[in-house]
Amino acid sequence: MKKAEELSKKLCYQRKNFWREASVNEKKLSFKFSEGYKAFLDKCKTEREAIEFYADILENKGFAEIDKAGKSAKVYRLARKKNAAIAVLGKKTVSEGVNIIVSHIDAPRVDLKQNPLFEDGDTKLGMMRTHYYGGVKKYPWMSTPLALHGVFVKENGEIVKVSIGEDEKDPVFVMPDLLPHLARKEQYSKKLGEAVSAGKMNLIFNSIPYLEDKDAKEAVKLNALILLNEKYNIIEENFLSAELELVPAGKARDAGIDRSLVLGYGQDDRICAYTSAEAIFAAKPNKAAVVYLADKEEIGSEGNTGARSIFIIDFIADLLKHNGESYDSATLRKTLLKSQVLSADVNAGINPNFPGVHEKDNAVHIGFGVSVTKFTGRGGKSGSNDANAEFNAKITGIFNKEKVNWQIGALGKVDEGGGGTIAKFMAEYGAEVIDCGPGVLGMHSLYELTSKADIYSCYKAYKAFFEKA
C-alpha cells in the first residue's frame, strides 16, 4: 500500500491547489496583487479606457514612445487609442527573437446603435436602440443597472468622453425585462437563446417631455437631445460618429466569505492584460519582451485594432530599428520565426453547477493556478493553433523551475462547443505560440468570477516567461 502511494506520487499528474501549496507570504501577495487588479478593472470598462490607463502610467514607469525614445530600453506605442505594445529590451538582440504576451482588452458588451434615440409612441418613453458586441447571452443584460461609456467624435476631431453610471451619484440605465406573470407565451415557450431577441434590447433613456411648447412633436426625445446638448454640446447626428458602450455599472468586488475570489465585469481578458503588463514592469527580460494589448478579439480579431492587423509586426520592425539592428523584411521574418508567444486569454474553469460540459481531468480547476492550453478550437481541433509539444515542454519546464502554480487546461468536452483565441493569428508569423491564462467561472457573463490564486499565478507565469524563455 505504501509503495503504491509512493509510486503514484512519483508517476501520476496531479493539479496542485494554490491555497494548500503556497507559502503564507505567497498567499498574502496574491491578495495584495488582486487589490491593484480590481482597481484596474474599475478604471477600465472599455478598450479605450484600458489604453488610456496605460497611456497615463507608462512614462512614469520609465517607458518612452518608441519614435522618440533615444536609447531607452523601455518603449511603447499606442495605436488608434484602442491597442498598444509595450516593450523592454533584453540581454539578447531583438533579432534573436522576441518574447511576446498578447491579450485582448475588449470584452462582450452592448453598444448603442449609430442612430439610437427614439420616442416610443405608446409609452412616451425616450429609448435607445442597441447592438450587442461579442458572444453574449442576451437575457442577463435585461433589468440590470448599466453604465454608458464611450466617445463622441466631432467633425473637427474633437473627442467628447462619456462615462455615466459609475459614480454613486450618477444615474444608471436599464433595458427592462418582461415580468414572469406575462412571460408565458412571449418567453417561457421559447428556447433560452430566443427568449430575449436583440430587438427587445432597447434602453430606457428618459421620460420627461420638453414642456416649453405644448405642441412639440416627440417631446420626450427632444428633451433627451436638449439634455445631451447641454451636457456634451452634441447634436443627434453626432451619434453617427460615436462609440458608446453599455457595461454593467459598479465596481469589481471580493467574492466568498474568505475573500479568495474576484467578481467583476470584463475579466476576459483584462485579467491577462493587467497581469502581463505588471509582469513586464517587474521583469528583467532575457530576450526582448513585448506586451501586446489587442482590441476586437471578441469579434474575431478583425479590424485595424485587432490582432490580425499588421500593428504588432510593424512594432517589432521598429523595435529592431530602435535597437540599432537591421530591420529589412528578411530580418523581420527571421525574428518572428524565432519569437515565442504566450496567447494570454482566459479559459473556462469547471463550474460546479454545470460540471457536465467539462471533462474534469483536462479542464481548468479554479484556484489550481494558471492554465497551459495546447489547443482550443471546436470539433476536431478545428480553428486551433495547437502548440508544438516541444514548446509546451519548454514553457511548463520554466514554470516548474520557477515554482509557478500551473495546470493543464482544455476548454470543454470534445464536441460540447468550443472557442478560439488570438493564438492562431500570432502563429501565422511562424512564432511558437501557446495559450496560457487563468480559469474563469461564468465567462462572458456580466460578472465573471476568478480566483486570487490564479490571478497571482498568472502574473508569476508571465514574469517567468519574460525572464527565462
Site for Mn ion, rule CB under 5 A: 268-269, 345
Do 225 and 233 contact (CB within 8 A), yes or no? no
Angle between helices 24-43 and 267-282 (to 10 degrees): 120
Nearer to Mn ion, 228 or 422 (CB): 422
Provide, rounded to whole angstroms, the least separation between the CB of residue 296 and Mn ion: 11
Instruction: State the Cα–Cα distance between residues 164 and 144, nearest whole angstrom.
Output: 15
Provide, rounded to whole angstroms, the least separation between the CB of residue 154 and Mn ion: 32
Task: Report the b/e string of 417-433 with b at 16+ CB within 10 A.
Answer: ebbbbbbbbbbebebbb
Provide, rounded to whole angstroms, the least separation between the CB of residue 369 and Mn ion: 18
Nearer to Mn ion, 102 or 128 (CB): 102
| 3-class state of residue 313 by DSSP | helix
Nearer to Mn ion, 345 or 432 (CB): 345
Provide, rounded to whole angstroms, the least separation between the CB of residue 275 and Mn ion: 13
Q: Cα 249 vs. chain centroid, distance in angstroms?
A: 17
- Residue with smallest beta-carbon separation from Mn ion: 269
Nearer to Mn ion, 268 or 467 (CB): 268
Nearer to Mn ion, 269 or 467 (CB): 269
Do 297 and 307 contact (CB within 8 A), yes or no? yes
Provide, rounded to whole angstroms, the least separation between the CB of residue 317 and Mn ion: 27
DSSP secondary structure letter of residue 468: H
Provide, rounded to whole angstroms, the least separation between the CB of residue 103 and Mn ion: 8
Instruction: State the Cα–Cα distance between residues 373 and 304, nearest whole angstrom.
Output: 27
Nearer to Mn ion, 150 or 420 (CB): 420
How far apart, in Å, are the Cα atoms of 192 and each of 133, 139, 197, 306?
19, 8, 10, 31
The residue type of 21 is E
The sheet with strand 432-437 has its strands ordered as 64-65, 74-79, 83-88, 288-294, 98-104, 340-343, 432-437, 370-373, 406-408
Nearer to Mn ion, 245 or 345 (CB): 345
Provide, rounded to whole angstroms, the least separation between the CB of residue 442 and Mn ion: 12
Nearer to Mn ion, 149 or 270 (CB): 270
Provide, rounded to whole angstroms, the least separation between the CB of residue 437 and Mn ion: 8
| 3-class state of residue 93 by DSSP | coil
Task: Report the b/e string of 218-241 with b at 16+ CB within 10 A.
Answer: bbbbbbbbeebeeeeebeeebbee
Q: Tell me which residue of 422, 109, 91 sits closest to 289, measured CA to CA.
A: 91
